[in-house]
């Protein structure tokens, strides 16, 4: 799959587990809604002092935003109070990440406002700051450059989209985000996966990133020499190679289609024809239904497109359908797939005749209310014209089956201007040097440390991936049992008090065989103390050992210290499964030595 | 050639070479740092070793003169620019907040205004709200009178910090009006997509088209962009540092509200045939905030040489009893002394406690439920336009709706 014209870049957004970036609210998601308010956002005057009239009308018609206030949002999120100074805790984490990515930290950080008027920011702009440049990581495919690392505020969470309003919740607005953008240095899906994974490890190595669904988001930019396609929200690592490789394939096919269309001299007739009359007696239920509601059947003529819309190799018809589905049109039909859907051969012939089509020509029908049908066909015309040129730039959404679907055009160049409410932050060399000394170990180094604590490399990587390597180290250093601790952490869930379990195990309350069950039961919601007490053996270990020592006095007299092994067998016969063997062994050794000492 | 802001430059630093537009210095920036706007739009500060100019550039200030079509079926509204957030815009390249250069700039940030009225716009002065002074109130009042002979109403975009002071001053200086005088401000500058300036300004225009013969303040009623309140110029106060709905009518209901239409909640003075101007002000008036621990000499110095003083007392209108002799002396010396409450809400009453009775006995005038700032301006105006006895007697009389005799439990 490696090809020189393939250029893939990655953009990763990771939420930080700190307070919010410009106020003192907590960074978590809440269901509790305390209050609602409504706002309108307006396009502002451009640098030239002009307002785009169309954009203004658009905003006047549709854009009402309803914001839900949560306990973790204050006047800052409501755009009712100026932002506080940039959160230094979040900045320090971001700077550490930048250093781990070998980037150069700028000497002074300036917060910018990036205009966003879809309502996801109450202010109408997102605050963002470029903190480091010129980083890179090494991968098994070679070096991948990371030109920019930014620290920015997360947008509000979209809850609902209504006809004339969008509902956003303010819990997420303002959570610090690190944005890491790579250069388009990658060539394949597998390489993108490795890069994403490596950056993910580095982010988690700080132990200060938020975990769980939606806390890390990835966008992948794929270009095969023509348009740039952004796959938005491609966050599932194991799906990344599929999404990328399918996109490369899609772009190649589109390039092939463009060659074919050019060679045929294909062109798009921009006229929109009303072909409703051809369907006056139609048996197609879809079309009948739409005509009954006052809809029309409209058509466009695509000269030279026959066989390109749908055949063994080509599926341009799907691309056309995607373009109109985003405005709610499902009834798009094209000549490569007809007759079908109750549309007869006769009707197809009549349309072809009316549009005066030759054998190489194709047509597209949309059955809808007249205005909507026209709007849809205008999109079809635009997309079909693009097809003659090659691959259009666009934003696509990833799907579970490994393919992607058209979402929207690429965002235009962002308008950015300085955030004057926040003073710039000077980053001195001495501070950077101090940060360099306190960097967490890179994942590859960390794995070696974990291996030395008594587990294998694979388990080590898993612990790092799950972000539980620190708690693993803590427990193992205190109580031992590396493999059991690792297994418990990897099988268990977040809210188990692992320290408590291993403290009790170490104290001999239960046998190590019980750990897995205890963890599982606590994960299922049972109370940790009562589960532990259930497993705690009622056997008095000391009494059992004392009794056996008394019974086997002769043996001890004969063998001295070497009586340990047979005695251990006898004790364990009674305690196996109830008490941890290590503990029994320690106690037996102690008591045996004491007995020998006394009876010398 | 020396690199200047606006130039496209190449900067060599310890960390590598950066290219971008050289930005003006930021006064919060470190002095060793230059600010560069990179090609990706971000600004960064870097310590340069060498700056090379790749292409000379410059920041130009642009002002746009536009032709505004005049139509007969809509009234003419005059806009008098005075400065403030509502009249400022951001230079997107430098981030500097600049005053709107022309009144047209201001009006055209809300194009819907042109559908409501014919626009007559001028900039009277451009000051920060906190730099407002009585002499500017006089300028505005004179300008209003002049404009009302050409326009059906006047809209005055104003900084919010002292907007209620100006509203009160104009209320007294313009006892009769041939058209509404509407002050309006913004808590978010109009360069922001979320600015409250649009709705406030548009609502102000709608009020300026009514038959309200008073000075009003029109601002957001709630945190939502749903409707504006119309506040009487003598009853309004900025009650929050930053919220959109910072302006509240105190001790009364708002005059009305505006969303699509203007709705009045209560009676108001109607516009008359002409505009009367009484624009003299006696600036020898002080506004004194009493606090526990205020000593005699402090109060003495605040009263020194004053023709009048408004004391913001505690609760029902009290000051420490140790200050009574100072106040008594000032009154005897001819200073007009009125008392209002720092509670803002509620009416002063000097009959309930002995300190109140003593204050009354020494000649302090209880000023009902008047706002402190309003009482201060009213006394300046009274002393400027009337003899002292008349001033004294009018101070506690309701002239412009600044005093009410009833306060309802439901407000």
B102 with B208, same domain?
yes
CATH number of the domain where residue B387 is located:
3.40.50.40
**Per-residue pLDDT tens digits for A130-189:** 999 999 999 999 999 999 999 999 999 999 988 889 999 999 999 999 999 999 999 999
Structural domain contains residue B273: no
Provide mean pLDDT across the span B51-65: 73
d(CA B163, CA B170): 11
Best of B24, B37, B42 to disrupt the A interface (most A CBs within 10 Å) is B42
Domain span at B145? 76-264
Catalytic (active site) residue B160 = yes
pLDDT grade for B102, boundaries at 50, 70 and 90: low
**Quick one: tokens of B177?**
């009006």
Check if B60 contacts A (Cβ < 8 Å): no
> Given a cut of 60, is residue B101 above it in pLDDT?
no
Nearest CB neighbour to A80, from listed B29, B105, B242: B242
pLDDT grade for A259, boundaries at 50, 70 and 90: very high
Q: What is the pLDDT of residue A47?
A: 43
CATH number of the domain where residue B165 is located:
3.40.50.1170
Least confident of A389-403, B14-28, B256-270: B14-28
Q: Greater confidence, A600 or B263?
A: B263
Structural domain contains residue B280: no
pLDDT grade for A587, boundaries at 50, 70 and 90: confident
3-state secondary structure string across chain B:
CCCCCCCEEEEEECCEEEEEEECCCCCCCCCCCEEEEECCCCEEEECCCEEEEEECCCCCCCCCCCCCCCCCCCCEEEEEECCCHHHEEECCCCCCEEECCCHHHHHHCCCCHHHHCEEEEEECCCCCHHHCCHHHHHHHHHHHHHHCCCCCEEEEECCCCCHHHHHHHHHHHCCECCCCEEEECCCCCCCCCCCCHHHHHHHHHHHHCCCECCEEEEEECCCCCCCEEEEECCCEEECCCCCCCCEEECCCCCCEEECCCEEECCCCCECCCCCECCCCCCCCEEEEECCCCCCHHHHHHHHCCCCEEEEEEECCCECCHHHHHHHHHHHHCCCEEEEEECCCCCCCCCCCCHHHHHHHHCCCEECCCCCHHHHHHHHHHHHHHCCHHHHHHHHCCCCCCCCCCCCCCCC
> Given a cut of 50, is residue A48 above it in pLDDT?
no
Catalytic (active site) residue B360 = no
Contacts of B203 (CB under 8 A, 6+ apart): B184, B218, B227, B228, B258, B259
Count up the domains in chain B and report the number. 3
Which among B82, B94, B160, B252 is annotated as catalytic? B160
pLDDT grade for A535, boundaries at 50, 70 and 90: confident
Chain B partners within 8 Å of A414 (Cβ): 41
Check if B193 contacts A (Cβ < 8 Å): yes
Q: Is A236 in a helix, a strand, or coil? A: coil
B361 with B228, same domain?
no
Structural domain contains residue B408: no
**Per-residue pLDDT tens digits for A172-206:** 999 999 999 999 999 999 999 999 999 999 999 99
Cβ atoms of residues B85 and B219 within 8 Å: no
Q: What is the pLDDT of residue A494?
A: 76
B293 with B367, same domain?
yes
**Per-residue pLDDT tens digits for B395-405:** 999 999 999 99
Catalytic (active site) residue B275 = no
B119 with B248, same domain?
yes
3-state secondary structure string across A411-475:
CCCCCEEECCCCCCEECCHHHHHHHHHCCCCCHHHHHHHHHCCCCCHHHHHHHHHHCCHHHHHHH
Check if A61 contacts B (Cβ < 8 Å): no
**Quick one: tokens of B343?**
């509670």
Q: What are the residue boundaries of the structural domains of chain A, listed by start?
A: 14-223, 265-388, 443-535, 541-598
Q: What is the pLDDT of residue A415?
A: 77
Q: Distance, in angstroms, between A48 CA and closest chain B CA? A: 7
B295 with B355, same domain?
yes
B252 with B290, same domain?
no
> Given a cut of 90, is residue B271 above it in pLDDT?
yes
Best of B24, B60, B194 to disrupt the A interface (most A CBs within 10 Å) is B194
Q: Are A80 and B46 within 8 A, CB to CB?
A: no
Least confident of A69-73, A301-305, A405-409, B373-377: A405-409
Indicate the residue among B231, B264, B297 that finishes a domain: B264
**Per-residue pLDDT tens digits for B114-144:** 889 998 888 898 888 899 999 999 999 999 9
Q: Distance, in angstroms, between B141 CA and closest chain A CA? A: 31
| Closest residue on chain A to B223 (Cα) | A37
Task: Tell me what the pLDDT averaged over chain A comes to.
Answer: 90
Which superfamily, per CATH, for A265-388? Answer: GAD-like domain (3.30.1360.30)
Check if B101 contacts A (Cβ < 8 Å): no
Least confident of A79-83, A426-430, B20-24, B178-182: B20-24
Q: Greater confidence, A409 or B87?
A: A409
Q: What is the pLDDT of residue A413?
A: 67
Nearest CB neighbour to B33, from listed A75, A122, A426: A426
Helix (H) or strand (E) holding A27: none
Nearest CB neighbour to A112, from listed B33, B43, B109: B43
Torsion of CA A426, A429, A431, A437, to 10 degrees: 150
Check if A416 contacts B (Cβ < 8 Å): yes
Structural domain contains residue B192: yes
Catalytic (active site) residue B94 = no
Q: What is the pLDDT of residue A1?
A: 44
Nearest CB neighbour to B42, from listed A107, A112, A426: A112
Indicate the residue among B264, B295, B311 that finishes a domain: B264
Structural domain contains residue B275: no
Chain B partners within 8 Å of A117 (Cβ): 193
User: Could you give the ipTM of this predicted complex?
Assistant: 0.92
Note the pTM of the prediction, 2 decimals.
0.84
């Amino acid at each position: 799959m490696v090809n020189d014209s393939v250029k893939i870049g990655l953009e990763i957004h990771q939420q930080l587990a700190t307070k919010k970036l410009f106020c003192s609210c907590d960074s978590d998601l809440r269901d509790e809604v305390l209050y609602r308010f409504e706002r309108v956002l307006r396009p502002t005057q451009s640098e030239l002092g002009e307002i785009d009239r169309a954009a203004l009308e658009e905003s006047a018609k549709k854009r009402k935003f309803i914001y839900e206030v949560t306990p973790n949002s204050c006047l800052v999120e409501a755009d009712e109070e100026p932002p506080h100074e940039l959160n230094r805790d979040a900045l320090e984490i971001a700077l550490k990440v930048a250093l781990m990515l070998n980037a150069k930290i700028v000497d002074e950080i300036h917060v910018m406002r990036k205009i966003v008027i879809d309502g996801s920011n109450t202010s109408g702009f997102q605050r963002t700051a470029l903190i480091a440049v010129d980083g890179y990581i090494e991968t098994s495919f070679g070096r991948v450059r990371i030109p920019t690392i930014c620290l920015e505020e997360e947008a509000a969470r979209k809850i609902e989209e209504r006809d004339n309003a969008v509902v956003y919740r303010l819990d997420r607005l303002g959570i610090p985000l690190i944005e890491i953008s790579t250069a388009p240095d990658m060539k394949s899906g597998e390489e993108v996966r490795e890069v994403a994974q490596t950056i993910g490890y580095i982010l988690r190595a700080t132990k200060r990133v938020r975990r769980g669904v939606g806390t890390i988001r990835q966008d992948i930019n794929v270009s095969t020499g023509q348009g740039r396609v952004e796959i938005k929200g491609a966050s599932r690592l194991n799906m990344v190679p599929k999404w990328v490789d399918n996109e490369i394939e899609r772009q190649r096919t589109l390039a092939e289609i463009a060659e074919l269309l050019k060679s045929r001299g294909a062109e798009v007739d921009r006229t929109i024809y009303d072909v409703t009359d051809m369907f006056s007696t139609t048996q197609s239920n879809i079309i009948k239904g739409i005509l009954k509601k006052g809809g029309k059947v409209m058509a466009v003529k695509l000269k030279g497109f026959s066989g390109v819309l749908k055949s063994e190799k080509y599926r341009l018809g799907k691309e056309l359908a995607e373009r109109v589905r985003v405005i709610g049109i499902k009834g798009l039909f094209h000549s490569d797939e007809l007759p079908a859907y109750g549309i007869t051969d006769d009707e197809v012939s009549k349309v072809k005749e009316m549009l005066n089509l030759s054998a190489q020509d194709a047509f597209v029908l949309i059955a809808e209310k007249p205005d909507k049908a026209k709007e849809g066909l205008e999109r079809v015309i635009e997309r079909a014209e693009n097809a003659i040129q090659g691959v259009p730039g666009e934003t696509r959404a990833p799907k579970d089956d490994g393919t992607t679907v058209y979402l929207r055009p690429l965002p235009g160049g962002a308008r950015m201007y300085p955030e004057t409410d926040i003073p710039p932050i000077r980053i001195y060399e001495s501070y950077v040097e101090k940060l360099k000394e306190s960097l967490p170990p890179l994942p590859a180094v960390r794995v070696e440390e974990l291996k030395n604590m008594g587990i294998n490399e694979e388990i080590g990587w898993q612990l790092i991936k799950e972000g539980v390597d620190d708690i693993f180290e803590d427990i193992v250093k205190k109580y031992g049992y590396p493999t059991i601790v690792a297994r418990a952490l990897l099988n268990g869930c977040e809210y188990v008090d692992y320290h408590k379990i291993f403290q009790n195990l170490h104290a001999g309350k239960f046998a190590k065989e019980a750990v897995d069950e205890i963890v599982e039961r606590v994960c299922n919601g049972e109370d940790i103390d009562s589960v532990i007490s259930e497993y705690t053996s009622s056997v008095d270990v000391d009494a059992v050992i004392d009794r056996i020592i008394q019974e086997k006095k002769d043996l001890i007299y004969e063998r001295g210290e070497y009586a340990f092994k047979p005695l251990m067998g006898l004790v364990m016969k009674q305690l196996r499964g109830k008490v941890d063997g290590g503990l029994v062994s320690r106690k037996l050794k102690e008591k045996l030595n004491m007995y020998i000492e006394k009876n010398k | 050639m020396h690199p200047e802001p606006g130039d496209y430059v190449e900067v060599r630093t310890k960390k590598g070479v950066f290219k971008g537009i050289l930005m003006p210095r930021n006064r919060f920036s470190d002095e060793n740092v230059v600010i560069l706007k990179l090609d990706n739009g971000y600004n960064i500060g870097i310590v340069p070793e060498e700056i090379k100019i790749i292409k000379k550039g410059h920041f130009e200030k642009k002002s746009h003169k536009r032709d505004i079509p005049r139509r007969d079926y809509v009234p003419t509204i005059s806009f008098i620019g005075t400065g403030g957030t509502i009249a400022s815009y951001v230079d997107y390249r430098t981030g500097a907040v600049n005053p709107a250069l022309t009144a047209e700039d201001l009006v055209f940030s809300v194009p819907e205004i042109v559908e409501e009225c014919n626009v007559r716009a001028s900039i009277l002065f451009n000051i920060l709200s906190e730099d407002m002074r009585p002499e500017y109130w006089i300028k505005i009042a004179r300008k209003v009178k002049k404009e009302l002979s050409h326009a059906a109403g006047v809209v005055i975009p104003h900084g919010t910090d002292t907007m209620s002071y100006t509203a009160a001053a104009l209320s007294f200086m313009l006892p009769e009006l041939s058209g509404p005088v509407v002050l309006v401000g913004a808590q978010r500058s109009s360069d922001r997509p979320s600015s409250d300036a649009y709705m406030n300004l548009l609502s102000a225009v709608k009020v300026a088209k009514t038959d309200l013969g008073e000075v009003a303040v029109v601002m957001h009623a709630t945190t939502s962009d749903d409707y504006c309140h119309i506040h009487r110029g003598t009853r309004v106060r900025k009650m929050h540092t930053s919220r959109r709905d910072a302006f509240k009518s105190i001790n009364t209901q708002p005059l009305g509200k505006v969303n699509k239409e203007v709705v009045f909640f209560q009676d108001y003075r109607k516009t008359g045939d002409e505009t009367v101007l009484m624009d003299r002000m006696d600036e020898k008036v002080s506004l004194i905030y009493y606090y526990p621990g205020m000593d005699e000499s402090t109060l003495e110095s605040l009263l020194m040489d004053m023709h009048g003083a408004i004391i913001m007392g505690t609760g029902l209108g009290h000051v420490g009893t140790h200050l009574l002799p100072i106040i008594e002396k000032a009154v005897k010396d001819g200073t007009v002394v009125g008392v209002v409450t720092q509670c803002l809400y509620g009416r002063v009453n000097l009959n309930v406690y002995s300190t109140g009775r003593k204050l009354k006995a020494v000649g302090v005038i209880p000023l009902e439920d008047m706002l402190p700032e309003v009482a201060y301006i009213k006394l300046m105006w009274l002393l400027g336009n009337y003899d002292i006895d008349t001033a004294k007697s009018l101070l506690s009389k309701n002239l412009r709706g600044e005093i009410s005799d009833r306060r309802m439990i439901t407000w």
